[in-house]
C-alpha cells in the first residue's frame, strides 16, 4: 500500500547499494528508492556491477572527442542527423526559463555529443524519424564507436535493474516495466562544461535549471562537481561526486507515469568554482516510442486521482524536444 503523505525536504541525496539481489535485498533497496523518489527524485547507486575501467574509458573517449578541432566537431553537427545525433556546440541548448511565462534564459555553457541505439537504415523507426534511434555520426577516432556501444550496453543492463527495483517500490511485480522497455528509447550524451567565464550573461551557467524529459537518467560525473538539485522546499542542494557510483534521477515521463507520486526534480550545473573543465555522461533511458503512458494503477487513489492524459512515449519526448530546441 503506497503512502501519499507530502514529501519531506531532503538535505542530502542518498546512496543506495543495489548489490544484494536476494529478495530481502531487493525489497530494502526498493524501499529506499521509494523514499528518494518522493523527496528529490535523485539518488546515487552503488554496487551497480559496471566495471570501473569501462566508465573511465568512456570519460577518456569524451575528452578525446571534445579535444578535436572545432571544424571536425561541427562536421558532425546534430542538425545533419534525422535523429538529432551528433555534436552540439556551446550555446546550442537553452534549458532554463527566466519567468513563469516561459521566456527563455541565456544559452547553456556546455558542448555535447549525442548517440542513439544503432538500427538498420530500413528499420521503420528510421522512416518515422523517431528520435534517439540510429543515424549516429561517429568521429574518426580509433575505438570511439566501439567504446560508446559497449558502455551503452552496460548501462542498459543497469537501467533494467533500477526499473525492477522501481516497480517493487510502487507495489508492482518487478517485471512490470519490461514490456514497455522491449526496444528502449535511449540516448547517450557526453557533455563538457568549461569553467564559467566572468563575462557570462546574467543567470548563464553550465546547464540552466531544468527537469529531464524521459524515464530515468543514469549519470556518470567526474570529480569536479557542480551538479545541484532542488528539494521539496525549493532549496538547492549539491549532488557532490561519490566515487564508483552513478547518479539516478527521474524524468518528466516517469513523473507523469506515476501520476505525480514520484518527482521529476529541477537540477542545474554550476561550474563556477573549479576553474577546470567538467565532464559528465548522462544516459537517458526511456520506454519504446510506441509505449502507452497512462497512470500506473497503484498510483491512482481517491486521494490522488488521475492527473495526466494518456500519450505515447514518442509524443511526450517529441514535445519536450520541441520546447527545448524550438523545432518541429
Mean pLDDT of 127-131: 56
In a domain, 8, yes or no: no
The count of structural domains within the chain is 1
Q: What is the pLDDT of residue 236?
A: 85
Q: What is the pLDDT of residue 161?
A: 98
The more confidently predicted of residues 120 and 276 is 276
- Residue 302 pLDDT exceeds 80: yes
Cα 200 from Cα 217, distance rounded (Å): 28
In a domain, 4, yes or no: no
What is the domain-level CATH number for residue 214?
Answer: 2.60.120.330
Using CB atoms within 10 A of its CB, is residue 298 exposed (0-12), middle (13-18) or buried (19+)? middle
Mean pLDDT of 105-124: 80
In a domain, 317, yes or no: yes
**Residue 308 CB neighbours (<10 A):** 15
Share of the chain above pLDDT 70, in %: 80
Q: What is the pLDDT of residue 206?
A: 62
Q: What is the pLDDT of residues 50-70, one digit of tens each?
A: 999 999 999 999 999 999 999
- Residue 101 pLDDT exceeds 70: no
In a domain, 82, yes or no: yes
Q: The pTM is what? A: 0.88
φ/ψ region of 207 (left if φ > 0, alpha if ψ in -120 to 50, else beta) reads beta
- Residue 274 pLDDT exceeds 70: no
Beta carbons of 16 and 43 less than 8 angstroms apart: yes
Q: What is the pLDDT of residue 198?
A: 56
Q: What is the pLDDT of residue 5?
A: 39
φ/ψ region of 159 (left if φ > 0, alpha if ψ in -120 to 50, else beta) reads alpha
Q: Which domain holds residue 196?
A: 15-325
Length of the chain: 328
Beta carbons of 272 and 205 less than 8 angstroms apart: yes
Mean pLDDT of 203-230: 85
Q: What is the pLDDT of residue 10?
A: 54
- Residue 125 binned pLDDT confidence (cut-offs 50, 70, 90): low
Mean pLDDT of 103-109: 66
> Phi then psi for 96, rounded to 5 degrees?
-90, 150
- Residue 149 pLDDT exceeds 70: yes
CA angle 102, 321, 296 (to 5 degrees): 95
Q: What is the pLDDT of residue 112?
A: 94
Rounded to the nearest integer, the mean pLDDT of the chain is 86
- Residue 172 pLDDT exceeds 90: yes
In a domain, 302, yes or no: yes
Q: What is the pLDDT of residue 113?
A: 97
In a domain, 9, yes or no: no
In a domain, 2, yes or no: no
In a domain, 7, yes or no: no
Minimum mean pLDDT range among 90-94, 188-192, 193-197: 90-94
Amino acid at each position: 500500500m503506497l503512502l501519499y503523505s507530502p514529501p519531506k525536504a531532503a538535505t542530502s541525496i542518498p546512496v543506495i547499494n543495489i548489490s544484494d539481489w536476494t529478495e530481502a535485498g531487493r525489497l530494502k533497496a526498493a524501499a529506499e528508492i521509494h523514499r528518494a523518489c518522493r523527496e528529490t527524485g535523485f539518488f546515487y547507486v552503488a554496487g551497480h556491477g559496471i566495471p570501473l575501467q569501462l566508465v573511465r574509458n568512456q570519460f577518456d573517449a569524451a575528452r578525446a572527442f571534445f579535444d578535436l578541432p572545432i571544424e571536425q566537431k561541427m562536421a558532425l553537427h546534430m542538425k545533419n542527423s534525422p535523429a538529432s545525433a551528433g555534436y552540439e556546440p556551446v550555446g546550442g541548448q537553452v534549458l532554463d526559463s527566466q519567468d513563469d511565462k516561459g521566456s527563455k534564459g541565456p544559452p547553456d555553457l556546455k558542448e555535447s555529443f549525442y548517440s542513439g541505439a544503432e538500427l538498420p537504415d530500413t528499420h521503420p523507426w528510421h522512416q518515422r524519424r523517431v528520435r534517439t534511434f540510429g543515424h549516429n555520426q561517429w568521429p574518426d577516432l580509433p575505438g570511439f564507436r566501439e567504446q560508446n556501444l559497449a558502455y551503452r550496453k552496460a548501462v542498459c543492463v543497469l537501467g533494467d535493474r533500477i526499473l525492477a527495483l522501481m516497480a517493487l517500490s510502487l507495489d508492482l511485480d518487478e517485471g512490470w516495466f519490461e514490456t514497455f522497455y522491449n526496444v528502449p528509447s535511449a540516448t547517450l550524451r557526453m557533455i563538457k562544461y568549461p569553467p564559467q567565464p566572468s563575462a557570462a550573461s546574467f543567470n548563464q551557467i553550465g546547464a540552466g535549471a531544468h527537469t529531464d524529459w524521459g524515464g530515468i537518467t543514469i549519470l556518470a560525473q567526474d570529480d569536479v562537481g557542480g551538479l545541484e538539485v532542488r528539494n521539496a522546499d525549493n532549496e538547492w542542494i549539491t549532488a557532490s561526486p561519490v566515487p564508483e557510483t552513478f547518479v539516478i534521477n527521474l524524468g518528466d515521463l516517469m513523473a507523469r507515469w506515476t501520476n505525480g507520486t514520484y518527482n521529476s526534480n529541477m537540477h542545474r550545473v554550476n561550474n563556477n568554482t573549479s576553474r577546470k573543465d567538467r565532464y559528465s555522461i548522462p544516459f537517458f533511458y526511456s520506454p519504446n516510442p510506441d509505449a502507452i503512458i497512462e497512470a500506473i494503477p497503484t498510483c491512482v487513489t481517491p486521494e490522488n486521482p488521475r492527473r495526466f492524459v494518456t500519450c505515447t512515449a514518442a509524443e511526450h519526448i517529441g514535445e519536450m524536444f520541441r520546447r527545448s530546441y524550438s523545432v518541429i
